[in-house]
Amino acid sequence: MRVKAVFFDIGGTLYKEKKFKTPPWAIILANYLKKQGIPASWNEIYQAYVSSKEYLGTLNVEGTELWHLNILLLTFSKLNLSLNPSLIMEAYNVFLNSLVDIMEPYEDVQETLKCLKEKRLKIGIISNTGSHYLIYKVLKRDGLLKYIDLLITSQMVSWRKPDRRIFLYACRLLNVKPSECVHVGNDPIADVMGAKSAGLKVVQKLTPYTSRSSLADAVILDLGELITVIEKL
């Protein structure tokens, strides 16, 4: 059966993160708070954020997505900072923008998406993220939204990969059968196992940080190989 739609993961597949010794978002957030007359070191913010995420994770028995905004709210509470709604939202926007700045697309992303559209394939994004708007912003910044037919994130629907429901829902939204779709991702559990459980074909993009899955229908090292691989599935 001919492939009608291709879904992509974001982190490690279409995008990579710039590497830093210290988390830029924590430094930027500390500088923002300092301008508001609120003293807090980047390390205090970072440690409080990590512990807040871990704590909320213990309460999240359903395994649904944790919204960055909620984690940030608890972070401020742990640091005994003001929980004023305006301050929280402004800090959240500063936080998001700092995350956008450290994300950059792999070199062959635009050409790959362009080729897929020329072949009249539907293109979707399925991403685990605590902020849907973050993914939207990076795609818009890099001029990639024109190629995307669907953007679905775990923060939007609450289900996280490898939950098969997020893949099945994406197929339903694009009006395609799972067997007519290919999912491209790097994670052997979230992407490969998750998509296979929903009946999609899977192309695993290997990175130095992920192990190869025996469940993948094909494996690539970079996106430049994808078109040829899809034609053989």
**Cα torsion through 212, 215, 218, 222, rounded to 10:** -30
Element (H, E) at 8: strand 5-8
Residues 9 and 70 in one domain: no
Q: Is the pLDDT of residue 228 over 90?
A: yes
3 state DSSP class of 173: helix
Q: Is the pLDDT of residue 40 over 80?
A: yes
Residues 194 and 134 in one domain: yes
Q: Which of 83, 102, 121 is the last residue of a domain?
A: 102
Q: Report the alpha-carbon distance of residue 192 to residue 212 in Å, rounded.
A: 10
Residues 12 and 126 in one domain: yes
CB-based contacts of 88, cutoff 8 Å, min separation 6: 69, 72, 73, 76
DSSP state of 188: I
Q: Is the pLDDT of residue 11 over 70?
A: yes
Summarised one tens digit per residue, pLDDT across range 162-220 is 999 999 999 999 999 999 999 999 999 999 999 999 999 999 999 988 899 999 999 99
Burial class (CB in 10 A: 0-12, 13-18, 19+), 231: exposed
**Sorting pLDDT into bands at 50, 70 and 90, what band is 19?**
confident
Residues 41 and 71 in one domain: yes
Summarised one tens digit per residue, pLDDT across range 89-115 is 999 999 999 999 999 999 999 999 999
Q: Report the alpha-carbon distance of residue 77 to residue 132 in Å, rounded.
A: 24
Q: Mean pLDDT throughout 49-63? A: 87
**Cα torsion through 158, 182, 225, 140, rounded to 10:** -40
> 53: domain range?
24-102
Q: What is the mean pLDDT of the chain?
A: 95
The β-bridge partners of 127 are 153
CB-based contacts of 84, cutoff 8 Å, min separation 6: none
Give the predicted TM-score (pTM) of the model.
Answer: 0.92
CB 190 within 8 A of CB 128: yes
The residue ranking higher by pLDDT, 22 or 218, is 218
**Sorting pLDDT into bands at 50, 70 and 90, what band is 1?**
low
Q: Report the alpha-carbon distance of residue 162 to residue 197 in Å, rounded.
A: 8
Q: Mean pLDDT throughout 27-34? A: 96
Q: Report the alpha-carbon distance of residue 93 to residue 101 in Å, rounded.
A: 12
Closest CA to 150 of 125, 113, 180: 125
Residues 122 and 88 in one domain: no
Residues 94 and 119 in one domain: no
CB 151 within 8 A of CB 135: yes
Closest CA to 73 of 59, 58, 87, 94: 87
**Start-to-end Cα distance in the chain:** 9
Which pLDDT value is given to residue 139? 98
Q: Which of 102, 122, 142 is the last residue of a domain?
A: 102
Q: Into how many domains does the chain fold? A: 2
CATH number of the domain that 216 lies in?
3.40.50.1000
Residues 228 and 153 in one domain: yes
Summarised one tens digit per residue, pLDDT across range 117-149 is 999 999 999 999 999 999 999 999 999 999 999
Residues 115 and 225 in one domain: yes
Which pLDDT value is given to residue 6? 99
CB 16 within 8 A of CB 134: no
